[in-house]
Structure 1
Amino acid sequence: MKADVIVVGGGIVGAACAAELALRGMTVEVLEARGIGGGATAAGMGHIVVMNDSPAEFALARASRELWLALESQLREREAFSRCGTLWIAEDDEELDAARLMRDAFAAAGVRAHMLDRAALREAEPSISHAMQGGLLIDDDAIVYAPAAARWLLTRSTRIRVSTGCAVRAVDADDTHAVVTLATGDRRTASHVVIANGLAAPDLIAAVPLEAKKGHLLITDRYLGTIHHQVLELGYIKSAHHARGTSVAFNAQPRPTGQVLIGSSRQFGTLDPAVEIDVLATMLARATRYLPGIGGLNAIRAWTGFRAATPDGLPLIGPARFPGDRLWLAAGHEGLGVTTSLGTAKLVAAQMLGELVPFDMPATHAFSPRRFARAHADG
């Protein structure tokens, strides 16, 4: 099979792109250096969450979540999809005000969200500290086991061929076709190449502005009913935007197995995958503030991963460079790769095929990889 499109990267974003392009009738070859669903996809929480840090992010996350919800009936037990909702916890009056602003923004966009007072919060999540003032419940947010979901997406069409253990050394293109050179020296051609290999994208496209954000996660033994929603502190949003240093924020998820997945941390300036005990201890101390009983649970594993972040916090989705728009980027999603993977795939396919964007997206140029080149030229 000679591919119409080669997708470099078999994580959740690459798998979503492959599935969408195959659905459009294109033959797709996926080249993955390790295994399908590895890397950041395997390291993350698999939270499908609407975020509204910017109009572009809000539109992409909202549309992508709807695409995930439409797949709910097709996903199998192994994908561990659950529409558990997201509960943002407010510790004080200032955070309650922030929650109300978020609720109003969501309501204006048709996203179901409602405030919980202290009594309603205790009823929804009895394990949460009674010192918390209330919260905001986003009803239709969900979770999924992303590595299994990536594999499932790649089985949806016979037009997709997957090659694992297949590292890519270089990509190039002219006006008529794109060329991929493998680490073995073999070359493969296609009409288009989609580069969706996260932090490795700058190895293939020069000057792609991606930086690693290291994160820690920990999972417990099985304790059914400890929490019922994905629960986060409202301060998580501030933590996610720290530009330097180390930060932690409370974030916990009920797995369908009964386990509790606990996060999270952010660190810059390191590619060392080792679990750092001091960071993990700080993260767990933060979690104890919100879930006082968490220290009594048995932890069975901790690990780290690396988010691929851009300078402005928005992903790179679209043509990578001139000429010919044969090379495409789908990378830099930071902590929203699982959420926005399906929407990203729709955007890539629409741009590649010259179609209108299939959902309400006020500013697709906000994701253009060329925005940084333009900013550099303007500077």
Structure 2
Amino acid sequence: MKKNKKIVIVGGGIIGASIAWHLCKKGYQPTIIEKNFVLDKGSSGACEGLMFLQSKKPGIHLNMAMKSIDLFEAIQKDLDIDIEFERKGGIVLIHSKREMEILDTYIAKQKASGADIEMLDAKTVKEMVPEVAYDIKGGSFSKNDAIVNPLNLTHGFLQACIKMGAVLHQNCKITAIDTKGGVVRVVKTTKGDFQADLVINAAGAYGANIAKMVGLDVPLEPRKGEILVTTAKRKILNYPLLSATYIAAKYDPEIAAKGTGFAIEQVPNGNILIGSTREFVGFNRDSTIKALQSITASIAHTLPGLGNLNIIRDFAGLRPYTPDGLPLIGEHEKVKGFFFACGHEGDGITLCAITGKVVSEMINEEEVEFDMSHFHPARFDKKGKKNDKL
């Protein structure tokens, strides 16, 4: 595609910002349309910065996640802001024999995909996480699990884009997309019309709504996740932690019925972030007492050594869910010039770097390292039922 082509990116969250930055690095000057003030209400501003390779499905999902985290070393040097990226490793906590059985098989497949993950016995887990409960059964560890500040990362991408010639329109809502003759022509917004040779749908949980504007129906829907924030404390947690229930629930209905587990990290300023829920409630972002009670009960049982935690606030974000757990990436053949880059659900932070890279390569007609047919947006045209057995 010629560098002077008019590219409109719908969504200024972490995915849209990464795509814009990668495109600018290749000489393009995209226009970014964001319906809110950036980071006000999107998922990028309502999530933890955990990048747990251990939670990724073996195969291309995991391989892209590993590559994505590798890219952060260079991104951190390129951006004019501290994104607080650190490969500090992460621990998955195993609570039962059944979870141990599932994780044994799961991790064997991950290691076959190239991941550096090791199983831990209960004694080792207790040495690494003294706050853990006496009845913990074991765990797993990956030195490549990482953390990043998603707010700083999104800001850094966007600030760098603007310096390279990109244009960001905030508080700008799309009202229609003109596709005369089956080809993208114009993006109509509350701040005027924008000519477009290519529209990139990076609208996250609202991706299906944007797709409908060009007559496309995709099985993408919002799934709410709530997060709790504590007062700042002295350094307690040496590693981010993930409950094995989060993984095992996808494979065992009985485990899923008891809850979805938790993730917890202590950020540099001392606050502890605890999440998260998985709720299909449409676009409702309200926090609930039920979610707070569910998350805190899990933490109290598994990590009694943390003592009493003072919750100072909670917030919710909407994750863009797809039935097979993989994002939608690529141009849909039914509408020329309409390109999907959404549906990452809880992996938007982890996959943002590689998504930006491969999307920019596809648009620039370069060879892409991965088989992108796995993410083709038309793959659900004849199916689309929910399936959480990832």
Match of 1:14 in 2: 16
User: What secondary structure does 1:280 align onto?
Assistant: helix
1:240 deviates by 6.0
Inter-partner Cα distance in structure 2 for 1:172 and 1:240 = 40
Which deviations, in whole Å up to 9, do the C-alpha atoms of 1:75-122 show, x marking residues without a partner?
A: 677523232222111123333343333443343333322222222212
Higher strand share: 1
CA 1:231 to 1:75, structure 2 compared with 1: closer, same or farther past 3 Å?
farther
Distance (Å, rounded) in 1 between the aligned partners of 2:70 and 2:43? 22
Matched, 1:369 2:366: no
How big is each residue's C-alpha offset from its partner over 1:47-96, in whole Å with a ceiling of 9 and x where there is no partner? 12224325231222122121124434456775232322221111233333
SS in 2 for 1:98: helix
Structure 2 residue runs of 5 or longer lacking an equivalent are 385-390
Amino acid at match of 1:319: E
Pair 1:233 & 2:273 matched: no
Sort the Cα spacing of 1:294 and 1:172 in 2 relative to 1 into closer, same or farther, 3 A: farther
Q: Secondary structure at the match of 1:155?
A: helix
Tell me whether 1:346 sits opposite 2:357 in the alignment.
Answer: yes
1:135 corresponds in structure 2 to 139
Give the Cα separation in 1 of the matches to 2:4 and 2:176: 19
**Which deviates more from structure 2 when the two are superposed, residues 112-121 or residues 260-269?**
112-121
Task: Specify the alignment match of 2:194 in structure 1.
Answer: 188
TM-score (norm 1): 0.89
Deviation at 1:132, TM superposition (A): 0.9
Query: Cα distance, 1:245 vs. partner?
Result: 8.7
Per-residue CA shift, 1:205-244, capped at 9, x if unaligned?
1212211211111011112322111101111024468999
Give 1:311's match in structure 2, choosing from 313, 318, 323: 323
> What does 1:44-55 align with in structure 2 at a 5 Å threshold?
44-50=47-53, 51-55=55-59
Query: Conserved in 1, the CA contact under 8 Å of 2:206 and 2:222?
Result: no
RMSD: 2.6
How many residue pairs get aligned? The number is 371
Amino acid at match of 2:299: A
For residues 196-275 of structure 1, the aligned pairs below 5 Å read 196-206=202-212, 207-239=217-249, 247-275=259-287
Find 1:108's aligned residue among 100, 112, 117: 112
Separation in 1 of the partners of 2:98 and 2:87?
28
Residues 271 and 135 (structure 1), Cα distance of their counterparts in 2 relative to 1, 3 Å cut: same
Could you tell me whether the CA contact under 8 Å between 1:12 and 1:37 is conserved in 2?
no
* Alpha-carbon distance between aligned partners in 1 of 2:46 and 2:61, rounded to the nearest angstrom: 22
Matches within 5 A, 1:316-335: 316-324=328-336, 326-335=337-346
How far apart, CA to CA, are the structure 2 residues paired with 1:97 and 1:74? 43
Q: Identity over aligned residues, as a percent?
A: 28
- Relative to structure 1, is the Cα distance of residues 42 and 83 closer, same or farther in structure 2, using a 3 angstrom cutoff? same
Aligned residue in 1 for 2:388: none
Give the direction of change, closer, same or farther, for the CA distance of 1:6–1:355 in structure 2 (3 Å limit). same
